[in-house]
Amino acid sequence: MEFMHSIKTSLENSRFRWITYQRSYMYLGAILIRVIFSLIFIDWADGPVFLDAGKDILVEKTSIYNDDVDSPHYLFNYFPLAYLAILPGMALYYLIGFDNPYLLRLFLKLPLIAGDIALALLINRDYHNSVFPKNEENESVQEKTTISTNSDGDKRKRASQVELFILFNPFIIFTSSIKGQFDIIPVILLYLGWVKYKKGENTSSGALIGASILFKQYGVLFSIMIGLNLLKTKYKKFPKFFLGHLLVTIPVLVVAAFLNFEGLKYHAIYYHLDRPPSGFSITSILFYSTTIPVRESYSSTFSVIIGNLVQTVFFSTLLLILLYFGYKLWMSNNEELDVINALLFALTAFFLFNNVFWIQYFVIFMILWIEKKKLLHKPITDTSIYWGYATLPLAVVFRVSFMVPDEVRVFLGSFWVEIIWFSGVILHFLLMYIFTKQGRPLFARSYIMPIYIIGMIILPFHFVLMTNLANAQDFFVT
């Protein structure tokens, strides 16, 4: 008890005193969930690529890019900065000397788990500081009225709900701890870049956003929209924003080119320029729904023509839409909310009409949505949390069985694997309810829980449907 009391005192006296002793249980629970899922699951496609690439570099001492087409490492088609998302955990694994496939999966995802937790802390701190300015700390309690006290309590509930939304959101857990996708890292960089932009620290903002682009390229839209806003409202500060991009991107690309220029050119650039459509974008769906029947009924040449036409039409549509939203932002009042709205619409168009769109790209939408709620002074309510969880079926049902290791599937049988996963989803809801300490627990409203129960009943049917679809279509690859 004395030891636990000392921890509580340390937290309260630290610079992070907004992390209360009680809330530490929430973080422990969130970490435990992620550790369990990280041990069991691995993405059937990208998982082997990340593991093989990490082993090649850390153990075999090979180049950052592999030209052996039979090696999973060959499919690591990212800018080299992306290695920072997978190598730290694997380096620790090999340094300790473990030899266990389950632990290897866990250590691969340690930076991603840390990213989930860090994002919750960062957003809560920013949200907390925005509703509790520092000068409030110096106000005497006697000077505050009952109304202001109640208002502060309501704001604290809002900050707590935002934090819970990140910590126990099954969608974010699925992306980082099950699929092992590193989108959480560029999302953190984009969020920090946005925070720096709001503070007027444009060089730092540009550097952070530039770094995010070297992980996932959708960060370019942040560069465009924030850059447009700076050009119109604070054009003298735009060069600093642009300089921030250069300070990060040029050194990284120069070093990568020195290490393996041909690999950088093909895997990080040419591959994406010539990548065939895949995933859930409208372009991908129409591309395959038209080219496959044409190829089977007529000729492969005609199929290629149709495919190129589909890609050209939708790429042109995407450019026009992005130009439109850029123009709308330019003509707006150029407030922060206008930038957020422009980003939300531009990202939606980009993901719908781009060649490639996968579920993990949705993570950035959640962060922008939270920021919009804050700017509108609206709370993350029970209903808002529900809509956040409503993305779960989109992520979970797509070939979950392929992410279960063969040895686990053989030992348990496919049916029990699905039952275990279904139970895990229920566990998320229970933990969300239990760990909400301040005010009325989320999901306490009578109409929310029945909706979840109905969704859980439908989930297995949706799972079977999407799994059968994935088995039937070879073009669904990540």
**C-beta separation of 386 from 451 below 8 A:** yes
Nearest to 227 by CA among 237, 218, 217, 214: 237
Which residue shows structure tokens 């850390």? 58
Nearest to 463 by CA among 409, 403, 407: 403
**Which of 32-41, 183-192, 231-240, 438-447 shows the lowest mean pLDDT across its residues?**
438-447
Handedness of CA 368, 374, 376, 380 (dihedral sign): positive
Q: What is the pLDDT of residue 154?
A: 59
> What are the sequence ranges of the domains in the chain?
11-112+153-165+173-181, 182-275
Which residue shows structure tokens 């370019």? 220
Q: H helices within 68-201, ranges in order?
A: 87-96, 101-131, 146-167, 170-173, 184-198
**C-beta separation of 459 from 396 below 8 A:** yes
The pLDDT-based confidence of 441 (bands split at 50, 70, 90) is very low
How far apart CA 158 and CA 318 sit, in angstroms, is: 36
Dihedral-angle region of residue 370 (phi above 0 means left; psi in -120 to 50 means alpha; beta otherwise): alpha
CA 367-371-376 angle, 5° bins: 150
Q: Return the percentage of the chain with pLDDT > 90, whole number.
A: 24
pLDDT in tens, 371-385: 887 887 776 654 444
The pLDDT-based confidence of 294 (bands split at 50, 70, 90) is low
**Is 350's pLDDT higher than 50?**
yes
Q: How confident is the model over 215-222, as a mean pLDDT?
A: 91
Q: What is the pLDDT of residue 434?
A: 46
Q: What is the pLDDT of residue 36?
A: 85
**Is 219's pLDDT higher than 50?**
yes
Of the two residues 472 and 444, the one the predictor is more confident about is: 444
Q: What is the pLDDT of residue 131?
A: 56
Which letter does DSSP use for residue 176 in this model?
I
Q: How confident is the model over 403-426, as a mean pLDDT?
A: 55
**C-beta separation of 182 from 82 below 8 A:** yes
Q: What is the pLDDT of residue 450?
A: 60
**Is 165's pLDDT higher than 60?**
yes
Q: How confident is the model over 346-358, as a mean pLDDT?
A: 81
Q: What is the pLDDT of residue 119?
A: 94
Torsion of CA 390, 393, 394, 397, to 10 degrees: 170
67-97 b/e with 16+ CB inside 10 Å = b?
Answer: eeeebbbbbbbbbbbbbebbbbbbeebeeee
Of the two residues 169 and 382, the one the predictor is more confident about is: 169
How far apart CA 469 and CA 401 sit, in angstroms, is: 13
Residues 6+ apart with CB under 8 A from 398: 359, 466, 467, 470
Q: What is the pLDDT of residue 148?
A: 44
* Residue 426, amino acid: I
Q: What is the pLDDT of residue 476?
A: 32
How far apart CA 12 and CA 88 sit, in angstroms, is: 31
Whole-prediction pTM: 0.76
Q: 297: burial class by Cβ within 10 Å (0-12, 13-18, 19+)?
A: exposed
Q: How confident is the model over 430-457, as a mean pLDDT?
A: 47
Q: What is the pLDDT of residue 109?
A: 96
Of the two residues 294 and 60, the one the predictor is more confident about is: 60
Dihedral-angle region of residue 476 (phi above 0 means left; psi in -120 to 50 means alpha; beta otherwise): beta
